[in-house]
A and B are shown apart, each in its own frame.
Chain A
Amino acid sequence: MITQVRIAEVVVQRESGLLITVGLGSCVGVGLYDPVTRTAGLAHILLSDSRQFNGKSSNLLKYADTALPLMMDKILKEGALKKNLVAKIAGGSQLFKYNITGGVSNESVGKKNIMAVKKALLEMSIPLLGEDVGGNYGRTMRMHVASGQVEISSLEGYIKLL
């Protein structure tokens, strides 16, 4: 079964199939995997920090700091064990040369997202097994539920296995 994970969504699946998140720009795709129970979760994170927005948004799956704990709950409920979990991440690129809102910032949204995802993983004590982040191009992330293997591709045909 192939399941699409769209912006600000989290999907958890067991045993077999493919989880795909297409078109990661500054967004970060986060895959969690338990190789023992073969349980996989994939999230498409839009922004880094929910606290910046004072709870104005109702969808907590948009933000790294809130989406990752929610994904963890979901994957544990599906039968994964916390001690087995590993993570793989991709995305966080900078597609536009300049900050689109006109302001000058040393840190692109993509970079902030990567840092926030890594921080959340660290806080949950989940080891980061592989990453393909940064750069200036969009990515598609495919996660094989049976093996936990992750394939990254871009429009240029760039392919990397995590």
Chain B
Amino acid sequence: MKKDLEINSEEIDILKELGNIGLGNATISLSEMLKDEKIKMLVPDVSLISLAEVPDLVGGPEKPVAAVFSRAIGEASFFLIFLMPEKSALNIIKALTEGIREEFCSLGRSVIREVGNIVSASYLNALSFLTDSAYRQTPPILAIDMAGAILGTIFAEASIIEDSILMVKTSFSTEVNDIEGCLIIVPHGEGLKKIVDILGLELKK
């Protein structure tokens, strides 16, 4: 199992690119929703870590977060997790409802689910365009709870059997509305090799 997951530096670069391409597009969508607020995007972070270490990557297992999960199915299969601290989620709700709501009521939850949906879909559009293949996205589902509980549930439900997990995490932040968060991409099953193959090929052209 371990052997399959070994990645070299060229593959890491390709995976970083996978984070870059898509999220550039996704942050434009988010910026439009926030009335053209400038969004700062960080260099994607590629890590191969044990399941136990994953929650530390998003601020610790007990940190309250909102996470929108969906699965992308196409030539390669992977998970998309749009995750942000609870406070940022509340700030998004406040910004998009123009101050009418600032809580996780049913409208508030819909707002977050929809933002996650748009960000993930923009990401997949960019990826589809670049690799010339279509991706289908499962309907987004939302949970607001401890980061560890949410990520653990995702790994359990997805029956992740590997002991280490590869994640491409791209973080973003805004100043005016004080929103920060990240999009996490987790290649699933054969997804990793396929993504590297497809993108490796495309990038070398």
State the A residues within 8 Å of B (CB): 6-9, 22-27, 46-47, 52-53, 56-59, 62, 93, 95-102, 109-110, 113, 137-140, 155
- Checking A23, A25, A57 against B162 with a beta-carbon cut-off of 8 angstroms, the contacting residue is A57
Interface size class of B (residues with CB under 8 A): 35 or more
* CB pair B141 A96 closer than 8 Å: yes
Write the nearest CB–CB distance from A98 to chain B, whole angstroms. 6
* CB pair A7 B51 closer than 8 Å: yes
Q: How far is the CA of A102 from the CA of B157 in the complex (A)?
A: 10
- If the complex has contacts A22-B62, A101-B157, A138-B146, are A96 and B69 also in contact, measured as CB distance less than 8 A? yes
- The chain A residue with its CB closest to the CB of B70 is A100
- Checking A23, A52, A99, A155 against B152 with a beta-carbon cut-off of 8 angstroms, the contacting residue is A23
- If the complex has contacts A22-B62, A57-B1, are A6 and B145 also in contact, measured as CB distance less than 8 A? no
Q: Considering the complex of A and B, which 5 residue pairs feature the smallest CB-CB distances, nearest first? A: A23-B148, A138-B149, A25-B149, A6-B52, A25-B153
* CB pair B1 A56 closer than 8 Å: yes
Chain B residues within an 8 Å CB radius of A98: 139, 141
* CB pair A100 B154 closer than 8 Å: yes
Q: How far is the CA of A47 from the CA of B152 in the complex (A)?
A: 10
Chain A residues within an 8 Å CB radius of B143: 95-96
- Checking B53, B69, B150, B152 against A46 with a beta-carbon cut-off of 8 angstroms, the contacting residue is B152
Further pairs besides A57-B162, A95-B143: 5, Cβ < 8 Å? A23-B147, A27-B156, A59-B163, A100-B157, A139-B149
Chain B residues within an 8 Å CB radius of A139: 149
Q: B52, B153, B162 — which one has the most chain A CB atoms within 10 A of its CB?
A: B153
Please tell me if B9 contacts chain A, counting CB pairs below 8 Å: no
Q: How far is the CA of A46 from the CA of B149 in the complex (A)?
A: 11
Chain B residues within an 8 Å CB radius of A23: 55, 61-62, 146-152
* CB pair A140 B146 closer than 8 Å: yes
Question: 13 A-B Cβ contacts within 8 A?
Answer: A6-B52, A7-B51, A23-B55, A23-B146, A27-B156, A46-B51, A47-B156, A95-B149, A95-B150, A95-B153, A96-B141, A137-B149, A138-B148
Interface flags, B138-173, vs A, CB<8A=1, else 0: 110111011111111111111101110000000000
- The chain B residue with its CB closest to the CB of A48 is B156
* CB pair B155 A46 closer than 8 Å: yes
Chain A residues within an 8 Å CB radius of B51: 6-8, 46, 62
Chain B residues within an 8 Å CB radius of A110: 153
* CB pair B158 A53 closer than 8 Å: no
* CB pair A25 B152 closer than 8 Å: yes
The majority secondary structure among interface residues of chain A is loop
Q: How far is the CA of A139 from the CA of B61 in the complex (A)?
A: 11
- The chain A residue with its CB closest to the CB of B54 is A7
Chain A residues within an 8 Å CB radius of B71: 100-102
Q: How far is the CA of A27 from the CA of B51 in the complex (A)?
A: 12
- If the complex has contacts A97-B141, A102-B138, A138-B145, are A26 and B152 also in contact, measured as CB distance less than 8 A? yes
Write the nearest CB–CB distance from A9 to chain B, whole angstroms. 6
Chain B residues within an 8 Å CB radius of A52: 159
* CB pair B152 A100 closer than 8 Å: no
Please tell me if B191 contacts chain A, counting CB pairs below 8 Å: no
Q: A22, A47, A57 — which one has the most chain B CB atoms within 10 A of its CB?
A: A22
* CB pair A100 B158 closer than 8 Å: yes
Please tell me if B64 contacts chain A, counting CB pairs below 8 Å: yes
